[in-house]
């Protein structure tokens, strides 16, 4: 588990919000290259390693994480040197205030920031505190005025990311970090590439990650359009509801995500997943999603692409501090390896047959 934690720490502490995925793309290029036959990208920056197959009429299978995390961009520099922002991806305003962030300038500077909050002393007699909109939250780097902030190279459009380090929980079973949505998927595909290195597959495998998932599943649209897979496996992290009496419990294994608002699992795909999980001894749980994944975009491309999500759940996602179980990652990795190695022409045709 120590080795796994070290890998998790490395990948979750990368900074890469939607549209600015370069650090994660570089990470994946380095990790995938030794284990695949080719590296390919699309016009938005999604990246995949390709493993060719010697099987006749091998189906094309895509296994795709997404590289981006949620964050902010500077929308305006105020006269007093503070900043206002626009959110990139979904944020609950309750988790934004009084947190540390890092602003990344165009020339590579890292500027420490804090998100402002109103102390109770200033709300007495005014009806108490109110929930601010994201656009009204003050981001403060301690600059005396706008000119000083600009002298550090800060401009509208600069990226702001959470400042958070990965740590283990006291029992050694779980991790607390930012960005497990979806550095989970990034680590899943890099580990899968290593485990399949040198092995012959019954499919032509496209293994990598899309861009801009957090702002509307955009990368999955462009990558599936370009590479035209017959089967699409999104690899993504979902919100755990266990502490709120809802579905999705950390430590209970990978997810059989049968529904979300943008995707319904096909019956033949569900049969394939459940049969494979039982045969491989995978610990799994059923999951009804309330948000979407790249499967929602991918399954609508190229005349229809049977898709699903190979996922885990984590508590408190889309914040500075997400809590999740390392064993869930191992269960999901074993599941993904078993699935990919079974997707031959006959299996894919069965999934697609109507």
* 221 assigned to a ligand binding site: no
* 35 assigned to a ligand binding site: no
- Exposed e or buried b for every residue in 107-142, given b needs 16+ CB within 10 A? eeeebebbbbeeeeeeeeeeeeeeebebeebbbbbe
Whether domain 71-162 has CATH 2.40.30.40: the reply is: yes
Residue 126 has pLDDT above 80, yes or no: no
The domain limits of the chain are 2-69+178-352, 71-162
Please give the torsion angle defined by the CA atoms of residues 11, 17, 21 and 23, in that order, rounded to the nearest 10 degrees.
-40
* pLDDT confidence of residue 122: 47
Catalytic positions are: 213
* pLDDT confidence of residue 120: 59
Q: What is the pTM of this model?
A: 0.95
Q: Which fold has domain 2-69+178-352?
A: Aminopeptidase (3.40.630)
**Rg of the chain in Å (alpha carbons):** 21
pLDDT tens digits for range 21-75:
999 999 999 999 999 999 999 999 999 999 999 998 999 999 999 999 999 999 9
* 121 assigned to a ligand binding site: no
The DSSP letter of residue 19 is T
* pLDDT confidence of residue 2: 85
* 204 assigned to a ligand binding site: no
Token pair for residue 193?
Answer: 């590439």
């Amino acid at each position: 588990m120590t080795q796994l934690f070290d890998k998790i720490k490395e990948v979750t502490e990368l900074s890469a919000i939607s549209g600015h995925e370069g650090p994660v793309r570089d990470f994946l290029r380095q990790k995938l290259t030794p284990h695949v036959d080719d590296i390919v990208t699309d016009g938005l920056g999604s990246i995949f390693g390709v493993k060719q197959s010697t099987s006749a009429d091998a189906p094309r299978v895509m296994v795709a994480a997404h590289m981006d995390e949620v964050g902010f961009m500077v929308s305006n520099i105020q006269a007093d040197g503070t900043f206002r922002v626009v959110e990139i991806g979904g944020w609950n305003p309750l988790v934004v205030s009084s947190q540390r962030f890092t602003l990344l300038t165009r020339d590579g500077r890292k500027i420490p920031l804090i998100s402002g909050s109103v102390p109770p002393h200033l709300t007495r007699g005014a009806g108490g505190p109110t929930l601010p909109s994201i656009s009204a939250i003050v981001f403060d780097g301690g600059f005396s005025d706008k000119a000083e902030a600009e002298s550090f190279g800060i401009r509208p459009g600069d990226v702001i990311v959470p400042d958070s380090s990965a740590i283990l929980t006291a029992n050694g079973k779980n991790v607390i970090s930012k960005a497990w949505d979806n550095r989970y998927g990034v680590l899943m595909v890099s580990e899968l590439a290593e485990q399949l290195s040198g092995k012959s597959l019954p499919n032509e495998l496209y293994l990598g990650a899309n861009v801009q998932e957090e702002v509307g599943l955009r990368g999955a649209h462009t990558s599936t359009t370009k590479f035209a897979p017959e089967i699409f496996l999104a690899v993504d992290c979902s919100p755990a509801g266990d502490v709120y009496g809802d579905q999705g419990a950390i430590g209970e294994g990978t997810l059989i995500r049968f529904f979300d608002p943008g995707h319904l699992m096909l019956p033949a795909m569900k049969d394939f997943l459940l049969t494979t999980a039982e045969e491989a001894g995978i610990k799994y749980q059923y999951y009804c999603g309330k948000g979407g994944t790249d499967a929602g975009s991918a399954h609508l491309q190229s005349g229809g692409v049977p898709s699903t999500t190979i996922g885990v759940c984590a508590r408190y996602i889309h914040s500075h501090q997400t809590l999740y179980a390392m064993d869930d990652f191992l269960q999901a990795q074993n599941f993904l390896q078993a699935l990919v190695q079974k997707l031959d022409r006959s299996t894919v045709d069965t999934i697609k047959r109507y």
